Amino acid sequence: MIRVFVLYPEPPDQERYEQHVELSRREVPHATIRHGRIFGSPQGEPDFAYYFEYEFPDRDAFRASEGGLSKAAEDANAMGIDFRVFFASVQ
């Protein structure tokens, strides 16, 4: 299983963010998408405010989605807030 997760240091504008989620669902149909507000951390105040995740069943599905992921990344950049992207292979 492959996960692509995105961390936002500040919450996105909700109306614009919903447009981004819909674009992501349309452009990356092989992924399960999850997202939500980060509400805490054991160390105190969290460094990030919002979480977004794509989950792919395998590397082939991930590779097949590269074009859609690029479009979603362009749209995320257009939202005008910083974010960090990570890739994980989950056992």
pLDDT digits (tens, 9 = 90+) for 21-79: 999 999 999 999 999 999 999 999 999 999 999 999 999 999 999 999 999 999 999 99
The region that residue 13 occupies, defined by phi over 0 for left and psi between -120 and 50 for alpha, beta otherwise, is: beta
Nearest to 17 by CA among 37, 32, 2: 37
Which residues face 36 on adjacent strands? 51
CB 9 within 8 A of CB 48: yes
Q: What is the CATH number of domain 2-56+73-89?
A: 3.30.70.100
CB 87 within 8 A of CB 65: no
Nearest to 76 by CA among 36, 19, 15: 19
Mean pLDDT across 75-90: 95
Q: Domain limits of the chain? A: 2-56+73-89
